[in-house]
Amino acid sequence: MFAIDYHDHGTPAPAAAGAPVTLEIDGQAISVPAGTSLMRAAALAGIAVPKLCATDTLNAFGSCRLCLVEIEGRKGYPASCTTLAEAGMKVHTQSQNLSRLRRGVIELYVSDHPLECATCAADGHCELQSMAAQVGVTESAYAPGAVHRPLEVDRSNPYFQFDPQLCIVCSRCVRACDDIQGTFALTVQGRGFDSKIVASQAQPFLQSECVSCGACVESCPTAALSEKSLTVGRPRTHAVTTTCAYCGVGCSLTAEVGGTSDAPQVVRMVPNRTGHANHGHACVKGRFAYGYAVHPDRQLKPLIRAHITDPWQEVSWEAAIAHAAREIRRIQARYGRDAVGGITSSRCTNEETFLVQKLVRAAFGTNNVDTCARVCHSPTGYGLKSTLGESAGTQAFTSVTEADVILVIGANPTDGHPVFASQMKRRLRQGAKLIVIDPRAIGLVRSPHIEADLHLQLRPGTNVAVLNALAHVIVTEGLTREPYVAERCEQPSYQRWKAFVSEARNAPEALAEVTGVAPELVRRAARLYATGGNGAIYYGLGVTEHSQGSTAVMALANLAMATGNLGREGVGVNPLRGQNNVQGSCDMGSFPHEFSGYRHVSDPQVRGLFEQAWGVSLDPEPGLRIPNMFEAALDGTFRGMYVQGEDFVQSDPDTHHVTSAMAAMECVIVQDLFLNETAKFAHVFLPGSSFLEKDGTFTNAERRISRIRRVMPPRAGYADWEVTMLLARALGYPMDYHHPSEIMDEIARLTPTFTAVSYEKLDRLGSIQWPCNEAAPEGTPTMHVGQFVRGKGRFFTTEYVPTSERVNGRFPLILTTGRILSQYNVGAQTRRTDNVVWHAEDVLEIHPHDAEARGIADGDWVGLTSRTGETVLRAQVSERIAPGVVYTTFHFPQTQANVVTTENSDWATNCPEYKVTAVQVVRITQAEAWRTRAAQERSAARPRDAAHA
């Protein structure tokens, strides 16, 4: 059932709205765009036509026969869901005949439906119940006959259940799975009375292909598919529209809240059908996996300790804050102002990240502030700023509906960004072409009704070589769009780039040995992207997390500029951001070299603006990046840090190195929901607040600023932004905000791309894509229209430089890492939900050839060893990866996959090279012994680290 505060219009708005047509419904004149159904037109006029098989997220189906209407001058009773409005029509939705027909339909439904409504989870929100009431049916008029009960309820899925006894086989769930989610897991099996909804091959939902997105549950008109949380006796009193705290899609969600006013509880979370990023869809994480907010592992009291080997001591907020402030000042007095720093989080709001960087710059007096975006999309910022002039993706998500050729490189949208992937798959089913460039056969390569036209299964670490080869073909075969480039790009840089990529050494044939990709595939991909119509590039961490991450981003921008694929709908260069607020944390000035809006700290005019607003002198020099902080900690020149919402001991590469650095610090202040891996090295723990406990905004991958709204009070007493204010005050730099809206007002005053953003406008419009200023008061869905932000687009020469991480006889395989659908990053949130039923541990995917050569069978324990460390996990023999490559995720601290990743990083931004690690894999029998030995070795610092520890 859809959200309690939602009014369904029955059918979607027409995809291509025509000129307005005026008609009359029940004597009321109404104008609607041509292509609008009568049902929708009536709904827009406030007239609810009875319906069961229709809902406005699905195309009209016309099966339930409840929505019949009469049209003057026409025979019969057409279904209003499938009949389009025409000028001059006179429509009647109520008459004696219509009532009789509808009553007959409902009586048939009711004859095979349990009528114990009072004990049903959908009571009060069931559409069948509502329709029966509308037509005055309270019981079946038919003599008892065959019925679909008793039938077993499928409770296999942890979040929802399927009760076939309550099913009216309206097919909304099947169509939702097909049309909205694109998984095609459900079907109507059998015919006539035997018709029933089944998952996959009539399997329990949990064992089926179902991905638990919840689209079927949301579309079900009864309680046949319903959330388990909707047990009887848990009424929902109100709904709060907020934004998902998981991936960079930033889905708008509606929290339905029950409980008491003193102790509100989220009863269920449903996708917001008017949400601009997700359009009424969600995934298994956002839709269901919010229980971590009330998990008993939440640490709700502040803690302090003198040494990381001491037990924690529970203290008051006042004591913890005072202790933290004293320590910061003590370290600065002893080691210098720049011996401390802070980390903002992409899991926190824009307002909170803005405050943390303000705290560090203004109260600590240093630019040693960085953010977790350092380890994911910092090359996006550098690469797109250099080439196009702005550190952000160029399009809205809806742009994909206009794309003709979709190029996905180094991203796995169906797992990492599932709601956008569903939108992309809809476009692919309409006929758009698909090029996948990835070492692994990601879900998009082949899934129901989707097949990539080309899959370039390159060797990890060779993105730039492949992109140069694509450019070589485009240039040497004359496929560039010269008038576009001549008008919009810098000619000298273009000519240099053309000459470079034209060199024979950049031909697909010359690079095939390096990339492992057949030259003909590269040539076909280049031709398709350059000549196939609107070409849209989508990329992820498989592009950025390399030693040439920034170079690869520039190479993508080069391709888009050369082919004229920027500055309009359907094209663009689109980073798929990992965490919900990666874009926002970067926008807010979290990087050590720039203020909000990506302006360098050395610019005296910009710095003066902030100095005036903040009342302090600011440092004109760039501060330390996260990896630099670790180095400086080992060097003894960096001794204290404030970490808000980041767990880099688990997430950052080369764990030995990170933990040695953390152990060398004198005061680490961790602010988080849980005592995470980083907290093991902390001296002060400040309880964090989940997205349900505060107000603020997130900015998603399409630059869309969306509100999060407080559903319940902060469980530990303070929202994160309030904790930062407490610390600032204790440091003698009082901040005086009474609500996050006031912080946003300050951001708007100080940031040219945000000058027209306000909470009032966000509430009014629903969301805003920046830039939002005088030139674009309601935001900017598509960037670089007419001209690039930097003026003329600049091409960069992108020489391929192989990573220094090479395979050899000792480490003959390449490990690459990624994520899966049900878990999220370090898993701190999703591991504390029932999502573990799908993925309870990290596994190592290994090709059958490599497995056989090592005597490894599916499910065996294997030891994974690199130059930096080793770990133990189970093998999953799979042809999704090529021979010579292995793959794993990093969701579980027990595995700690980053023990084996290296300190290599992107040349421009120090974004770690997670995607290429030379490893060896061996079958082991004593997993625990291996794990223990690995843990012991992990705790023993290596010579370089030990020298400084």
Q: Which of 120, 256, 903, 917 binds other proteins (CB under 8 A)?
A: 903
Give the other-Cβ count within 10 Å of 551's Cβ: 27
Instruction: Classify residue 65 as exposed, middle or buried by CB count within 10 Å of its CB (0-12, 13-18, 19+).
Output: middle
Residue entry with tokens 């009321």: 28
Stretch that binds other proteins, among 8-16, 17-25, 405-413, 626-634 (CB under 8 A): 626-634
Determine, following the binding rule CB under 8 A, whether residue 637 of this chain makes contact with other proteins: yes
Contact set for other proteins, span 337-356 (CB under 8 A): 338
Q: Which of 271, 460, 584, 592 binds other proteins (CB under 8 A)?
A: 592
Determine, following the binding rule CB under 8 A, whether residue 623 of this chain makes contact with other proteins: yes
Determine, following the binding rule CB under 8 A, whether residue 632 of this chain makes contact with other proteins: yes
Q: Which of 337, 502, 944, 946 binds other proteins (CB under 8 A)?
A: 944
Q: Which of 107, 631, 742, 834 binds other proteins (CB under 8 A)?
A: 631
To the nearest whole angstrom, how small is the minimum distance from the Cβ of residue 799 to other proteins? 4
Distance between CA atoms of residues 280 and 180, nearest Å: 9
Write out the E strands in 283-374.
303-304, 313-314, 340-344, 369-371
> Tell me, what DSSP letter sits at residue 224?
S
Determine, following the binding rule CB under 8 A, whether residue 720 of this chain makes contact with other proteins: no
Distance between CA atoms of residues 572 and 385, nearest Å: 14
**Number of residues this chain uses to bind other proteins (CB under 8 A):** 34
Maximum Cα interatomic distance, the chain, rounded to a whole number of Å: 92
Determine, following the binding rule CB under 8 A, whether residue 910 of this chain makes contact with other proteins: yes
Q: Which of 95, 97, 602, 617 binds other proteins (CB under 8 A)?
A: 602
Determine, following the binding rule CB under 8 A, whether residue 593 of this chain makes contact with other proteins: yes
Q: Which is nearer to other proteins, 524 or 948 (CB)?
A: 948
To the nearest whole angstrom, how small is the minimum distance from the Cβ of residue 464 to other proteins? 11
Nearest to 889 by CA among 813, 814, 817, 815: 817
Three-state DSSP state, 193 = helix
Determine, following the binding rule CB under 8 A, whether residue 389 of this chain makes contact with other proteins: no
Stretch that binds other proteins, among 148-156, 559-567, 617-625, 722-730 (CB under 8 A): 617-625
To the nearest whole angstrom, how small is the minimum distance from the Cβ of residue 660 to other proteins? 12
Determine, following the binding rule CB under 8 A, whether residue 544 of this chain makes contact with other proteins: no
Distance between CA atoms of residues 504 and 197, nearest Å: 58
> Virtual CA dihedral for 556, 561, 563, 568, nearest 10 degrees?
100
Determine, following the binding rule CB under 8 A, whether residue 917 of this chain makes contact with other proteins: no
Determine, following the binding rule CB under 8 A, whether residue 83 of this chain makes contact with other proteins: no
Stretch that binds other proteins, among 60-68, 178-186, 620-628, 731-739 (CB under 8 A): 620-628
Q: Which is nearer to other proteins, 259 or 622 (CB)?
A: 622
Supply 679's token pair: 């907290």
Stretch that binds other proteins, among 320-328, 571-579, 605-613, 901-909 (CB under 8 A): 901-909
Q: Which is nearer to other proteins, 63 or 797 (CB)?
A: 797
Three-state DSSP state, 302 = coil
Pairing relationship of beta strands 160-162 and 186-189 according to DSSP bridges: unpaired
To the nearest whole angstrom, how small is the minimum distance from the Cβ of residue 662 to other proteins? 16
Q: Which is nearer to other proteins, 203 or 637 (CB)?
A: 637
Distance between CA atoms of residues 876 and 842, nearest Å: 10
DSSP secondary structure letters along 539-583: E-HHHHSSTTHHHHHHHHHHHHHHTT--SSTT--EEE--SBTTHH
Read off the amino acid at residue 947. A
> Tell me, what DSSP letter sits at residue 311?
P
Is there a contact between 815 and 881 (Cβ–Cβ < 8 Å)? no
Residue entry with tokens 């903002």: 344
Determine, following the binding rule CB under 8 A, whether residue 500 of this chain makes contact with other proteins: yes
Determine, following the binding rule CB under 8 A, whether residue 491 of this chain makes contact with other proteins: no
To the nearest whole angstrom, how small is the minimum distance from the Cβ of residue 500 to other proteins? 7
Q: CA separation (Å) from 577 to 78, 542, 629?
A: 47, 11, 24
Determine, following the binding rule CB under 8 A, whether residue 596 of this chain makes contact with other proteins: no
Q: Which is nearer to other proteins, 335 or 838 (CB)?
A: 335
Determine, following the binding rule CB under 8 A, whether residue 634 of this chain makes contact with other proteins: yes
Determine, following the binding rule CB under 8 A, whether residue 841 of this chain makes contact with other proteins: no
Stretch that binds other proteins, among 135-143, 278-286, 412-420, 899-907 (CB under 8 A): 899-907
To the nearest whole angstrom, how small is the minimum distance from the Cβ of residue 689 to other proteins? 31
To the nearest whole angstrom, how small is the minimum distance from the Cβ of residue 279 to other proteins? 39
Determine, following the binding rule CB under 8 A, whether residue 907 of this chain makes contact with other proteins: yes
Is there a contact between 741 and 759 (Cβ–Cβ < 8 Å)? yes
Is there a contact between 376 and 554 (Cβ–Cβ < 8 Å)? no
Stretch that binds other proteins, among 356-364, 471-479, 624-632, 713-721 (CB under 8 A): 624-632
Give the other-Cβ count within 10 Å of 86's Cβ: 13
Supply 852's token pair: 């056989």
Q: Which of 372, 437, 908, 916 binds other proteins (CB under 8 A)?
A: 908
DSSP secondary structure letters along 412-472: -HHHHSHHHHHHHHHHHHTT-EEEEE-SB--GGGEETTEE-SEEE-PPTT-HHHHHHHHHH
Give the other-Cβ count within 10 Å of 778's Cβ: 12
Determine, following the binding rule CB under 8 A, whether residue 71 of this chain makes contact with other proteins: no
Three-state DSSP state, 676 = coil
Q: Which is nearer to other proteins, 623 or 688 (CB)?
A: 623
Q: Which is nearer to other proteins, 156 or 386 (CB)?
A: 386
Distance between CA atoms of residues 227 and 308, nearest Å: 43
**592: which strand partners?**
none
Q: Which of 219, 332, 394, 628 binds other proteins (CB under 8 A)?
A: 628
Is there a contact between 776 and 768 (Cβ–Cβ < 8 Å)? no
Q: Which is nearer to other proteins, 367 or 699 (CB)?
A: 367
To the nearest whole angstrom, how small is the minimum distance from the Cβ of residue 637 to other proteins? 6
Contact string 772-811 vs other proteins (x = CB under 8 A): ------------------------xxxx-x--x-------
Q: Which of 225, 255, 303, 624 binds other proteins (CB under 8 A)?
A: 624
Distance between CA atoms of residues 570 and 131, nearest Å: 42
Determine, following the binding rule CB under 8 A, whether residue 635 of this chain makes contact with other proteins: yes
Q: Which of 291, 622, 766, 812 binds other proteins (CB under 8 A)?
A: 622
Is there a contact between 636 and 948 (Cβ–Cβ < 8 Å)? yes
**DSSP H or E stretch at residue 8:** none
Q: Which is nearer to other proteins, 650 or 905 (CB)?
A: 905
Read off the amino acid at residue 940. A
Q: Which is nearer to other proteins, 37 or 868 (CB)?
A: 868
Query: 844: phi > 0 → left, psi -120 to 50 → alpha, else beta; which?
Result: beta
Determine, following the binding rule CB under 8 A, whether residue 717 of this chain makes contact with other proteins: no
Contact set for other proteins, span 546-565 (CB under 8 A): 547, 551
Stretch that binds other proteins, among 46-54, 104-112, 627-635, 731-739 (CB under 8 A): 627-635
Q: How far is CA 184 from the centre of its chain?
A: 22
To the nearest whole angstrom, how small is the minimum distance from the Cβ of residue 496 to other proteins? 8
To the nearest whole angstrom, how small is the minimum distance from the Cβ of residue 491 to other proteins? 15
Taking the CA atoms of 890, 893, 894 and 898 in sequence, report the sign of the dihedral they define.
positive
Q: Which is nearer to other proteins, 395 or 547 (CB)?
A: 547
Residues binding other proteins (CB under 8 A): 338, 367-368, 500, 547, 551, 592-593, 600, 602, 621-625, 628, 631-632, 634-635, 637, 796-799, 801, 804, 903, 905, 907-910, 944
